[in-house]
Amino acid sequence: MDRSALDELLERARRREPDALGRLVDLYAARVYGLLVRLTGDRDAAEDLLQETFLRVCRMIGEYQHDGRFESWLMRIAANLARDRARQRRRRGVTGSLNDAGPRGGEGESAAGPSPRPDEALAAAEAGARLEAALAQLSDPEREILVLRHYADLPFREIADLLGVPLGTALARAHRALGRLRELMRDEQA
């Protein structure tokens, strides 16, 4: 969707036109869901949080100041909800794992962007799967920061703000997480 079409759609959504808000779900549900699955490690939770994310968008869209970063704003809402859920679970003493968060029976999986050649697609899929497996072995805070940067595409300053830590802490955590991820991927290849 080009910039002016998105601007117009967001303007209509700010007026709470049901069709416009429904269209935002169509456009961004997959991206938000991908983030939520990776942050929660639980598809059922991701489905519930997906709905809660878009309901929050519906209620808070009037507060959004359009500066061309709608997707970041949306991802922040989703990430905040995932963090709230993780906090509640920690309080209740429940732990989760990303290991069972893969696609269910091939349902719902899709590749973004233009279709590559079959051998390239296979190599990319294998590399993606290795990365996914390595990510799943990281601690929650390590995975969270890498997913927010790499998948949600949030800048580190926004991530630090979202996590409520200084920028230096966020960068140091990301650095450590990357080092560990590299080790994990190397181990898996060996």
Partner 1 sequence: MEVGLHNLEREIERARAAWPTLRAIAPPTTIVARVRAAVVAEARRLRRRGRWLQAVRTFGGVAAAALLVVGLWGPRAGITPDADALSLVQDWGQALDASGTQLRDTLLGGWARGERPDAAAEVDELFRTLELSLERFEDL
**For residue 152, how many other CB atoms are within 10 A of its CB?**
23
Q: How far is CA 170 from CA 19, 125, 131, 180, 181, in A?
A: 38, 29, 21, 15, 16
Give the C-alpha separation, 2 to 188, whole Å.
Answer: 41
Shortest distance, position 30 Cβ to partner 1, whole Å: 4
Task: Please state the closest distance from residue 3 (CB atom) to partner 1, in A.
Answer: 22
The SS3 assignment for 158 reads helix
**Residues whose CB falls within 8 Å of the CB of residue 2, separated by 6 or more in sequence, listed in order:** none
Q: Indicate which single residue of 9, 39, 50, 79 sits in contact with partner 1 (rule: CB under 8 A).
A: 50
Site string for partner 1, 107-146 (x = CB under 8 A): xxxxxx-----------xx-xxxxxx--------------
Instruction: Kindly state whether residue 189 participates in binding partner 1, applying the rule CB under 8 A.
Output: no
Contacts with partner 1 by CB under 8 A lie at 16-19, 21-22, 24-26, 29-31, 33-34, 37-38, 46-47, 50-51, 54-55, 57-59, 103, 107-112, 124-125, 127-132, 149-151, 156, 167-168, 171-172, 174-175, 178, 182
